[in-house]
């Protein structure tokens, strides 16, 4: 674990993080938000809250998070399979939560697919509670294509 460190994400990391996402079961990607252009827009809006985990000059983990001034949101969180259960995901989440807190955010939300058992166990272990009193809704305003992994 000594050779693993966390640093802010930059758009130059895109190819490596996209590759990691495509190797991560349960990741929900689309052809608009998850393009290099889409991620660059997100990083420009949230330059201090997205991180990568590095080991031997290789990206082994990533977390994308941001906020709207009131609530924080965590999006694509992934750790390379061979580095799981070593605290990498927890370090990424801690970095994200600290950055959001430093920007005045008091509450964070995220969405996990119900069939993503590994992801749901991870978030529960970190203290993220499942809300039974909400119905998640969304509306597509620009047609997008989901990328199945």
27 has pLDDT over 90? no
| Structural domain containing residue 53 | 4-147
State the pLDDT at residue 77. Answer: 96
pTM of the model: 0.91
94, 77 Cβ separation under 8 angstroms:
no
- Number of structural domains, the chain? 1
Q: How confident is the prediction for the chain on average, in pLDDT?
A: 94
148 has pLDDT over 80? no
Q: What's the gap between Cα 144 and its chain centre?
A: 20
Calculate mean pLDDT across residues 104-121: 93
Between CA 110 and CA 54 the distance in angstroms is 24
Backbone angles phi, psi at 118, to 5 degrees: -60, -45
7, 123 Cβ separation under 8 angstroms:
no
Domain CATH code at residue 87? 3.40.630.30
């Amino acid at each position: 674990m000594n050779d693993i460190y966390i640093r802010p994400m930059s758009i130059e990391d895109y190819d490596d993080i996209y590759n990691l996402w495509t190797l991560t079961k349960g990741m929900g990607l689309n052809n608009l938000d998850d393009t290099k252009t889409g991620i660059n827009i997100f990083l420009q809006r949230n330059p201090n809250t997205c991180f990568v985990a590095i080991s031997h000059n290789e990206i082994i983990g990533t977390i994308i998070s941001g906020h709207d001034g009131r609530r924080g949101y965590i999006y694509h969180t992934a750790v390379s399979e061979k580095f799981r259960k070593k605290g990498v995901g927890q370090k990424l989440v801690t970095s994200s939560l600290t950055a959001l807190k430093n920007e005045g955010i008091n509450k964070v939300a995220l969405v996990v697919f119900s069939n993503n058992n590994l992801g749901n166990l991870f978030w529960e272990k970190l203290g993220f509670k499942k809300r039974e009193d909400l119905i998640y809704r969304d509306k597509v305003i620009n047609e997008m294509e989901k990328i199945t992994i």
